[in-house]
Amino acid sequence: MARLLVAWVAGTVTLVVVDVLLDDLRFTAWWTPIVASAVIGLIGFVLHPLLVAVAARVGWLAVIALAVVGQALVVAVALAVVPGVEVESWWAPVISAWLAALVGSVLAWLGTAGTDEGFAVSLARRGRRSRPRTDGPLPDGLLVVQLDGLPYPVLTWALAAGNAPTVDRWLRDGSHTLHEWRPTVPATTPASQLGILHGTVEPVPAFRWYDRELGRVLTANHPADAAIIEARAPGPGLLADGGVSVSNLFSGGADRSAMVLSRLRVARGTTITREAVAWFLLRPDGFARSLFRAVGEIVRERTQARRQVRRDLRPRITRDWAFALLRAVTNGVIRDLSTAVVAQEMLRGTPIVYVDYVDYDEVAHHAGLFRQESLAVLATLDTVLATLETVAETASRRYRIVVVSDHGQSQGDTFLQADGVTLADTVAELTSGSVQAVQTTGEDYARLRALAEDMAETGAGSGAARRAAARLDERTSVVADGGATPGGVPPGRTVADGENAPAAAADSDLLVLASGNLGLIQARTERRLLLHEIDERWPGLVPGLVARPTIGCVVAMTAADGPVAIGPDGLHVLRTGAVVGGCDPLAAYGAGACERLLPAADRAVAPDLYVISACDVSTGAVHAFEELVGSHGGLGGWQDRAVLLAPADLGAPPASILGADSLHRVLQGWRTELGA
C-alpha cells in the first residue's frame, strides 16, 4: 500500500510539472492531475500485460517501440478519459510518459522502488497477477543458480565478513548446507557446465582447442561451436522434460531457453527473452533502474581501475573502457534481465530452471579474486538470491534453491608479466618454427553476444539484431596474437572461429592455445602425438618448457605408461601415481592433483601437450597464459575449489564430489526426489 501511495504521489507531481512545462497539455481543475495519475495506474495495470504479450510475439522492433511509446500509449488513453484535460499535440503524452519515468526513477532511488528489494517486489507483484491456474498442488520445483567462478574459500570469507547475508541466513536457519566440490581439469565453464547439465565432461579438453575431427579450432563461447559440443554429449540433460535454461553456454536439454549459446543458431522463434525484455523496458523500476546502475557501474569500474594503478597494486592488468562498458551491461542490464526471465519462469511454474550469473567471474578475471570490487560484486549477487527467494514465495509451486559455482579461480602475475614473453613466443623459440597462437579470451563478449543473437530471432527487427550479433562475432573470434621469436620467426595469423585450420597449415608448425593457466600445444594431425614423436620432431620443446621456472609441468601421452606429467626434476605417471626422479612435478598443486588431472590427460581429445603454469606453494599464485589476473583452467590455487549450497531437506550430497558429472548426478537425484 505504501508503494502504491508513493507511485500515486510521484505520478501526480509529474503531471503538475508537465502542466507547467508544456503548453500543449493543460489541466483545467486542481484535482485533475490527482485523478489522472490514478487512472494512468489503473489503465497501465490492464494494458501492460497486453502490450508485453503483443510486442514479444511481433518482434524486436515492437519491443523497442514499446520502450519508447508504450507508457505514452497508457498516458494518452488515461488523459483521453479523464475530464478536465486538454491535449493539443500527439507528442505531449510521450513527453509526459518519459518525464514520469524520470521522476519515478529519481523517487525510486530516494525511496525503495529502485532498490533490489523493490525490484523483487515488482517481480512478485507481477506473479500474483499472472499465476497460472492449476488443478491441484504441483510437485516442488528446483531453481539452480550458478555463481560463475566463485571459489569455495572466497564464499567462506564473505560469510565471515558479513558480505553474504542471504546465504548466511539460509545456513543459520538450517534451510541449506554448504559443501565444496572439486572440478577436474579443465576447470572451465564449458567443461563444468556441460558436466553439470549433460552429465559428461569428455568432449571438452579446454576453453578452446584444435578439434581433430573437424580440422579447426572449437571455441566454447561461439554459438555454432557450442551447439557442436552439446551435440556430442549423451543423454537427455538435467533440464529435459519441462526445464528452462537461462544465460548458459548449454541448454541441458531444456524445452525452452533464453540467451543460451548452444541454442542460438538452432532454436529460433522463442518469445521468452522478448517477453521479459518487453516487461523490463516498460517499467521504470526495470529498465530505468538498470540504466542508472549501468552508468554507475562504468564510473565504478574506471575509478577502481585507476585506484589499482595509483596504489601500484600487483598483480594487475590494463582495464580499458571496453571492459567498463561490457561490465556495465553484463553486471547491470543482463543480470537484471536474467533475473526477470527466471522470475517469469518460476511464476509460470516451470519445474526446473538453471541460470548462470557471470558477474563475479568477469570482475575477478580483471581485478583479482580477493579485490574489493570482486567481493562487492559477490555481495550484489547475494541480493539477487534474496530477490529470487522473494519471487519464489509467490510462485505456484514451492521451489528449492540450489547455488553452485562451476569452478573457482586463482590469482597471480600473468605468464607474460612473469616471464617477459608469451607461451607462443616460447614455443616458437624452442622449435625454431612459427606457431599460431590463441591467447585472448573474447569471453567478456559472450553474454552480450547471447542477448544480441537471441534478439535475432524471427520477427520485426531481427535483421538489425543479427547485424549486431555479427559485429560481436568479430570480437569473439579466435585471435592469433603471438609466435614471433628474437630470430625473426614470423608471427601467427588471425584464425576466425569456423575457419578451416588445415588451410593455414603451411603458415605454422604448431598451434598454441590458452585457457587460463592451462596451455595447449597441438600439431594439426589426425591423432594425438606420443611423447617420443614430439621429441623426434621438436627435440628441444619439452625439455625447454619444463626448464622455465614459470612452467610447473608438461603433460604428454606415452606408449608404455599412458599420460605423464613431466617436471624439471621428475616425472609423474598419472595412471599409477608412480613418481620417477627426484621431485614430483604435481606436488605444488596440492593433494589430489593427479586425480583431477588424469581424466583430461587420458582422453583422445586431449592436445599433444598440456602445459600448466608453475604454482607458488605458499600463496597459490599461478600464471595465466592469457592477460588475466584471476584465471582458471588448470591446477593450482583455488581454481578447482567450487561451491555447492544444498537444500537441507533433500538427500545429503556425497562427502566428496569429484567432477561436474558427479554433481550432475546429485542434482538429477534431487529432481527425481522432488518428482518435478
Alpha carbon distance 105, 184 (integer Å): 46
Q: How far apart are CA 275 and CA 560, in angstroms?
A: 58
Residues 6+ apart with CB under 8 A from 66: 51, 52, 55, 278, 281, 282
What average pLDDT is seen over the chain? 81
pLDDT at res. 235: 80
Determine if the pTM surpasses 0.75: yes
**SS3 (DSSP) at 218:** strand
Confidence of residue 295 (pLDDT cuts 50, 70, 90): confident
Q: Is the pLDDT of residue 1 over 70?
A: no
Rounded Cα gap, residues 647 and 665, in angstroms: 15
Measured between alpha carbons, how far is 68 from 62 in angstroms, rounded to an integer? 10
Widest Cα–Cα separation across the chain: 95
Q: For 226-276, how does the pLDDT look when each residue is reduced to its tens digit (9 = 90+)? A: 999 999 998 889 999 999 999 999 999 998 998 899 988 655 445 666 666
Contacts of 313 (CB under 8 A, 6+ apart): 307, 371
Q: How far is CA 490 from CA 327, 428, 585, in A?
A: 35, 9, 33
The grid coordinates of residue 241 equal 522434460
**Cell numbers at residue 380, please?**
550484489
How far CA 199 is from CA of 271, 585, 652, in Å, comes to 28, 31, 19
Distance, in Å, from the CA atom of 665 to the CA atom of 183, rounded to the nearest integer, reads: 14
Q: How do residues 604-638 score in pLDDT, each as one tens digit?
A: 999 999 999 999 999 999 999 999 999 999 999 99
Percent of the chain scoring above 90 in pLDDT: 53
* pLDDT score at 470: 53
**Cβ proximity of 360 and 381 under 8 Å:** yes
Ranges 109-118, 195-204, 519-528: which has the least confidence: 109-118
Report the chain's C-alpha Rg in angstroms: 27
Give the mean model confidence (pLDDT) for residues 21-41: 75
Q: Please tell me what DSSP assigns to residue 320.
A: -
Torsion of CA 86, 90, 92, 98, to 10 degrees: 140
- Residue 620 to residue 629: CA distance in whole angstroms: 13
Q: How confident is the model at residue 83 (pLDDT cuts 50, 70, 90)?
A: confident
Half-sphere exposure of 223 (CA within 13 A, CB side): 25
| b/e sequence 645-662, b meaning 16+ C-beta within 10 Å | bbbeebeebeeebbbbbb
pLDDT band of residue 467 (cuts 50, 70, 90) is low
Under 8 Å between Cβ of 305 and 317: no
Q: Helix-strand-coil percent breakdown of the chain, rounded to 5? A: 50, 15, 35
Residue type for position 168: D
On whether the CB atoms of residues 132 and 402 are closer than 8 A, the answer is no
pLDDT digits (tens, 9 = 90+) for 205-216: 999 999 999 999
> How many other C-beta atoms are found inside a 10 Å radius of the C-beta of residue 236?
11
Find the angle CA(198)-CA(208)-CA(360) to the nearest 5 degrees.
75
Residue 87 CA to residue 84 CA, distance in Å, equals 10
Confidence category of residue 62, pLDDT binned at 50, 70, 90: low
- The predicted pLDDT at position 284 comes to 55
What's 263's DSSP letter?
G
Helix 446-455, helix 223-231: angle, nearest 10: 90
